[in-house]
C-alpha cells in the first residue's frame, strides 16, 4: 500500500496540478514562434508540465542534463526524462530519450545524478507508479544505455522494513558510504554500501530554521559540499526554490543547518502560498563542472499571469554558486555567457539630472525629463550591465525600465532602500545597497531573452520576470527620486543565440518517447 506522502503527492498532481496544465498534446507539436527563446533552455515540443531539471553530469567534457516530459503512455499519461547535452551549458543537443516508461516500467519523477564509488554515472529518482524511489546506472559515459532500474530497499537497524516516505530523492557519497534522502515534510536519511540495501538513520535535518513555515516540504533536494560548508538546494512546493547552508555531523550522520535563504519571491499578482501560484523559480538541479564550479538550473513556472509559461518547460539561465569566507552565497550568471556577447555599446558618466520630486510622483515616470532615455536595446537578445558608485546609490530609490514606451510602460527594475529590496517587475527580492561592503559599487547585470528577464545584483541576489506585452519595444530608460544621480557606466551587448539545437530538435523530434500504443 502506498505510504501517506506518496498518496498525498499523487493526489496533489491529479487534483491540484492537472486543472492548471494543458492536456498533454501530441509531443511533436512545436511551440508557437512567439514563445521561442534565444539562449534559455526550453522544450522544443508542445505543452508539457512538470518540467523539472533532473540528473545532471559532466562526463568526458560534456554536460548532460535531463528534464521531465509529460506525455501520453498507453492511452493514459506518464513521464520521461528528456536528455540534452552541451559542451558549454548553453548550446544544447537533444538525444534519444532512454529513461522512459517503455524501458523502466514506471514514470520518471524528480531525482538527481551521482557517481558510484566505482566511477559510473547513476540516477536516483522517484518511480511514479512503483511506490518506490529507484536507481538506474548508466552503461557508458555517453548515457546512451542504462541498466534496468532497481528500487531502494530501506531497512531499520534491526533488519525490519522501514516506514519511510518514497518521494523526490537525492544520493551523495561521503567516504566509502552512499547516503540518500527522500522528500517530505521531515525528510529521512539512510545509508548503503551497495546502493540496494539501505539502513535508515533518522531525520536528515537536525532542526529546521525559524523562517521555515510549518507545513513546508523538502522536495527536489540536491545536497553538496560548497567551500567548507554543505548546501541543501531544494524547494517547498508552495513557496518555491530555497537553500540551507550548514555542516554535516559525521557522528550523527545528519545535516545541521545554520542558514536558510529563499530563491523565489512573490509578485504582486500572486497569493502568499500555493503551488504554481507563486513558484516562479522551482525544482532546482546542479552539477559540478570539471573546473570545480557548482552550476544550477531551475524550472521557471508561474512567471506570467494565468500560468502562461507553466507548460513551456523553460529552464533558468545556468547560475554559478560559490560560498566565500563571509558565508554569503554568491550567485553569478554562467561565465560562458560572456562568450556570446557582441557589439558592445558603452555609455560612461550618465547623469540623471531630473529627479522625481514631491510626494505624488509616479514610478516609473510617465514622461521626460524625469523618465530619461539611456539607449535602445539591440534586439530581443541582450545583456545590460549598469554600474553605480556606492555613494551615488546610497539611500536612493532609483530604477530602470526595460521595453519602455516612454510613457511609463515597460518592465521596471528598482533599487528600494526603504524595503531593502531589488524589484523586478512586481517581484521583490532582498537586496540592500547598505549591506554591501564599503567601497563596493552597485552592479546590475540584466539578461533579456525575448519576453524573459533575469537580473543579478552584485552576485548576491537574482530575480526573474516575464514581460509578455513588450511589443518589440526597445527603450531602456532610467529614473530617480529626490536628487540627481550619476551612473558610472552602462554597457549593452547583443547576445548571440544558442538555440540551434532547439531548432534541430523541433524538426528531428529525436526526444519523442514511446507512447506505448
- Segment 242-268, tens digit of pLDDT: 999 999 999 999 999 999 999 999 999
333 part of a folded domain: no
Asked if 327 contacts 340 with a C-beta cutoff of 8 angstroms, the reply is no
Same domain for 98 and 209? yes
334 part of a folded domain: no
Same domain for 144 and 20? yes
Same domain for 488 and 418? yes
Better-predicted residue by pLDDT, 304 or 87: 87
Same domain for 74 and 162? yes
Which domain CATH number covers 491? 2.60.120.560
Query: Cα–Cα distances in Å, from 25 out to 15, 45, 93, 451?
Result: 19, 9, 22, 24
Same domain for 203 and 132? yes
Provide the pLDDT confidence category of residue 10 given band limits of 50, 70 and 90: very low
Whether 17 shows a pLDDT value over 70: the answer reads: no
> What residue numbers bound the domain in which 378 lies?
341-495
pLDDT in tens, 61-83: 999 999 999 999 999 999 999 99
Asked if 365 contacts 408 with a C-beta cutoff of 8 angstroms, the reply is yes
367 part of a folded domain: yes
As given in the structure block, the three cell numbers for residue 72 are 501520453
Q: What is the mean pLDDT of residues 337-363?
A: 95
Whether 241 shows a pLDDT value over 90: the answer reads: yes
Of 160, 168, 150, 173, the C-alpha closest to 199 is 160
**What are the residues whose beta carbons fall under 8 Å from the beta carbon of 510, sequence distance 6 or more?**
94, 95, 96
Whether 214 shows a pLDDT value over 80: the answer reads: yes
Asked if 152 contacts 164 with a C-beta cutoff of 8 angstroms, the reply is no
Question: What integer best gives the mean pLDDT of the chain?
Answer: 94
96 part of a folded domain: yes
Q: Global pTM?
A: 0.95
Whether 13 shows a pLDDT value over 80: the answer reads: no
d(CA 483, CA 488): 16
296 part of a folded domain: yes
318 part of a folded domain: no
Provide the pLDDT confidence category of residue 23 given band limits of 50, 70 and 90: very low
Q: What pLDDT was estimated at residue 432? A: 98
What share of the chain has pLDDT > 70, as a percent? 94
Whether 133 shows a pLDDT value over 50: the answer reads: yes
Q: How many domains does the chain have?
A: 2
Whether 15 shows a pLDDT value over 80: the answer reads: no
Which domain CATH number covers 229? 2.115.10.20
328 part of a folded domain: no
d(CA 494, CA 339): 11
Amino acid at each position: 500500500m502506498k505510504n501517506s506522502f506518496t498518496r498525498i503527492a499523487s493526489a496533489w498532481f491529479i487534483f491540484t496540478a492537472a486543472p492548471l496544465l494543458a492536456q498533454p498534446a501530441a509531443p511533436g507539436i512545436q511551440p508557437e514562434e512567439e514563445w521561442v527563446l534565444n539562449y534559455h533552455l526550453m522544450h522544443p515540443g508542445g505543452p508539457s508540465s512538470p518540467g523539472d531539471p533532473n540528473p545532471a553530469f559532466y562526463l568526458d567534457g560534456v554536460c548532460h542534463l535531463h528534464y521531465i516530459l509529460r506525455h501520453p503512455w498507453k492511452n493514459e499519461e506518464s513521464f520521461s526524462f528528456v536528455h540534452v547535452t552541451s559542451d558549454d551549458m548553453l548550446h544544447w543537443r537533444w538525444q534519444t530519450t532512454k529513461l522512459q516508461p517503455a524501458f523502466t516500467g514506471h514514470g520518471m519523477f524528480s531525482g538527481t545524478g551521482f557517481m558510484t564509488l566505482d566511477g559510473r554515472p547513476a540516477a536516483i529518482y522517484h518511480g511514479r507508479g512503483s511506490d518506490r524511489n529507484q536507481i538506474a546506472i548508466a552503461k557508458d559515459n555517453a548515457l546512451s544505455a542504462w541498466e534496468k532500474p532497481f528500487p531502494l530497499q530501506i531497512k531499520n537497524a534491526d533488519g525490519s522494513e522501514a516506514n519511510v516516505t518514497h518521494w523526490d530523492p537525492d544520493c551523495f557519497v561521503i567516504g566509502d558510504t552512499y547516503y540518500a534522502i527522500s522528500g517530505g515534510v521531515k525528510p529521512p536519511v539512510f545509508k548503503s554500501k551497495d546502493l540496494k540495501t539501505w539502513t535508515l538513520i533518522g531525520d536528515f535535518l537536525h532542526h529546521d530554521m525559524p523562517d521555515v513555515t510549518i507545513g513546508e516540504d523538502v522536495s527536489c533536494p540536491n545536497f553538496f559540499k560548497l567551500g567548507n560548508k554543505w548546501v541543501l538546494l531544494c524547494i517547498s512546493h508552495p513557496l518555491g526554490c530555497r537553500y540551507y547552508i550548514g555542516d554535516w555531523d559525521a557522528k550523527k550522520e545528519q545535516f545541521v543547518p545554520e542558514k536558510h535563504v529563499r530563491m523565489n519571491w512573490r509578485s504582486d499578482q500572486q497569493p502568499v502560498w500555493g503551488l504554481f501560484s507563486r513558484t516562479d523559480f522551482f525544482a532546482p538541479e546542479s552539477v559540478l563542472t570539471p573546473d570545480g564550479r557548482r552550476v544550477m538550473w531551475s524550472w521557471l513556472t508561474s512567471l506570467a499571469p494565468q500560468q502562461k509559461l507553466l507548460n513551456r518547460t523553460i529552464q533558468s539561465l545556468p547560475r554559478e554558486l560559490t560560498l566565500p569566507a563571509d558565508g554569503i552565497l554568491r550567485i553569478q550568471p554562467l561565465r560562458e555567457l560572456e562568450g556570446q556577447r557582441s557589439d558592445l555599446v558603452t555609455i560612461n558618466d550618465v547623469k540623471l539630472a531630473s529627479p522625481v520630486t514631491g510626494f505624488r510622483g509616479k514610478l516609473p515616470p510617465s514622461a521626460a525629463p524625469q523618465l530619461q532615455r539611456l539607449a535602445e536595446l539591440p534586439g530581443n537578445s541582450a545583456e545590460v550591465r549598469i554600474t553605480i558608485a556606492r555613494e551615488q546609490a546610497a539611500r536612493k530609490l532609483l530604477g530602470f525600465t526595460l521595453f519602455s514606451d516612454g510613457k511609463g510602460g515597460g518592465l521596471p527594475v528598482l533599487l528600494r532602500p526603504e524595503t531593502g529590496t531589488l524589484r523586478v517587475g512586481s517581484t521583490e527580492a532582498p537586496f540592500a545597497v547598505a549591506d554591501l561592503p564599503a567601497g563596493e559599487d552597485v552592479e546590475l547585470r540584466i539578461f533579456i531573452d525575448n519576453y524573459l528577464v533575469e537580473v543579478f545584483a552584485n552576485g548576491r541576489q537574482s530575480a526573474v520576470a516575464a514581460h509578455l506585452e513588450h511589443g518589440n519595444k526597445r527603450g531602456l530608460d532610467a529614473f530617480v527620486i529626490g536628487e540627481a544621480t550619476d551612473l558610472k557606466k552602462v554597457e549593452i551587448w547583443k547576445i548571440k543565440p544558442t538555440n540551434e539545437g532547439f531548432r534541430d530538435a523541433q524538426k528531428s523530434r529525436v526526444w519523442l518517447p514511446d507512447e506505448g500504443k
